[in-house]
Amino acid sequence: MTRSSRPKGTQDFVPPESIKKTRIEMLFRELATVYGYQEVVTPTFEHTEVFIKSSGSASDIVQKEMYTFTDRAGRNLTLKPEGTPGVVRAVLENNLRLPCRLFYISPCFRYSRPQKGRYREFYQLGVEAIGESSPLVDAETIIFGATFFTRLGITEFTIKVNSIGCRHCRPAYREKLLTFLREKQKKLCPDCQTRMEINPMRTFDCKNTSCQLLLNDAPLPKRHLCPECTAHFEEVIDSLKSTPFNWKLDEHLVRGLDYYNRTTFEYVSGVLGAQSSLGGGGRYDYLFEEFGGPVTPAIGLAIGLERTILALPEGSPFNTASRRNLVFIVWTGPAEMAAARELLNILRQENIPALMTYEPVRVKRQFHLADIAGARFCIIVGEEELKGNLYALKDLITGEQSIVPAEKIVPTFSSLRLSSERI
């Protein structure tokens, strides 16, 4: 029999990595809730046109990376390569009242070359502030992501920010850039030669070294902003100046999607190597119109879960494989098993994580099973303990043992209760 293996570009989240994943997601949910966001869950696949409308036909996502298939009814469907388009479609289709703030935690799929921190199936943590046009919302969104990383213990990151203008100032800039690119056309890579005619700013996102060198002399979007865009971006920058986070202006930053306008931003960390981006986002004030909706200002960000895990420092509590708040019940013989089961049910009814083995194994083996389970405490249910209406309690981290009256066993573990908001 041949051993099965996972598809290329995917990964298994097994303990302790799955624990890290859960903790990070829970922190993200908590922070998003504090900032006034509510969770939205969209389908894993959408009609393909949803992503063509949003990402743009010139983007690498549409041209090279989408997992697209035809179902049995002949519909053209695509596994979502990012979260925002599905959220926009859901807001319109469900007639959500605006303004609204939504967050999501979702698997996404892109066919790209797998490398460290880059997978074909990956997880995005995202927020979308929809119906809000103030530059202060732009700054708050940027600060949200920076705060999230900081609370994880990630401090070695820089926020890159830029403005790429609006539909009023961009046409004139587009012509200036296009004139420049046509003069250099033969020196551009084949992809950029295609991009330049569809969306010339897309060339700034090219990873080809020779193209990057050529674009050092290209006209830059921030230097051709209209007065409204200039004032908008200045207010974003003024807000960032009052924060403790490390940020810098990057006039070449356009991000890899066609729907952005005005503010764009990205979080980068040197600890990740070549794939330095932790996430980013920008304003997309025209995307709802592309979907047939009304004029709707919006801004969002998306964070890569896998890269976030890689960026966790050794000292971060989110990067430890510490024992979980689990109680393992050890019973000493067949007569004590019924009492152990009764205690197990009592603890679980009180939302105290608890486990025991039903196999007739020795006490030493049960302690070993508690270790495998990553339990923090063991409660010993023995003949002498039952006679005295007592339990022996052992802390598997400190090694300390104590005797606890049966009626106090639940209060003893009240601080270990799990809820949907804490792990």
Mark whether 239 and 280 lie in a shared domain.
yes
Nearest Cα residue to 256 out of 21, 28, 51: 51
On whether both 141 and 162 belong to a single domain, the answer is: yes
User: In this structure, are 245 and 329 located in the same domain?
Assistant: no
Report the C-alpha gap between 84 and 80 in whole angstroms: 9
Single residue among 257, 289, 317 that ends a domain in this structure: 317
Same domain, 95 and 59: yes
CB 53 within 8 A of CB 258: no
Indicate if 286 and 401 belong to the same structural domain: no
Residues 331 and 312 in one domain: no
User: Are 336 and 236 contained in the same domain?
Assistant: no
Domains: count for the chain: 2
Nearest alpha carbon to residue 318 among 16, 14, 34, 11: 16
Tell me how far apart the alpha carbons of residues 134 and 236 are, in angstroms, rounded to a whole number: 9
pLDDT in tens, the chain (423 residues): 456 899 999 999 998 888 899 999 999 999 999 999 999 999 999 999 999 877 665 566 777 789 999 999 999 999 999 999 999 999 999 999 999 999 999 999 999 888 888 899 999 999 999 999 999 999 999 999 999 999 999 999 999 999 999 999 988 988 898 888 888 888 888 888 877 877 888 788 777 888 888 888 888 888 999 999 999 999 999 999 999 999 999 998 887 667 899 999 999 998 887 678 999 999 999 999 999 999 999 999 999 999 999 999 987 888 776 777 899 999 999 889 999 999 999 999 998 999 999 999 999 999 999 999 999 999 999 988 888 999 999 999 899 999 999 999 998 887 555 433 343
One domain, residues 292 and 350: no
Residue holding tokens 């600890």?
271
Task: Examine the domain organization and report whether 305 and 390 are in the same domain.
Answer: no
Which of 317, 346, 369 is the endpoint of a domain? 317
| CA Rg value for the chain | 27
CATH code, 67:
3.30.930.10
Query: Do both 308 and 328 map to the same domain?
Result: no
Please indicate, yes or no, whether residues 260 and 155 belong to a single structural domain of this protein.
yes
- 338 shares a domain with 248: no
Bridge partners (DSSP) listed for residue 354 = 327
Q: DSSP secondary-structure letter at 284? A: -
CA angle, corner 86, sides to 84 and 89, nearest 5? 110
Specify if 249 maps to a domain: yes
Return the ∠ at Cα 344 (arms to 341 and 346), rounded to 5°.
Answer: 115
In sequence order, the β-bridge partners of residue 378 are 328, 394
In the sheet with 354-356, reading across from the earlier edge strand, the strands are 354-356, 324-331, 375-381, 390-395, 401-405
CA distance 25 to 31: 10
Question: Angle at the Cα of 110 (from 25 to 301), degrees rounded to 5?
Answer: 45
Q: What is the pLDDT of residues 151-160, one digit of tens each?
A: 999 999 999 9
| Full domain range(s) for residue 399 | 323-416
Whether pTM > 0.85 for this model: the answer is: yes
Last residue of a domain, one of 317, 346, 365: 317
CA–CA gap between residue 226 and residue 325 (Å, rounded): 56
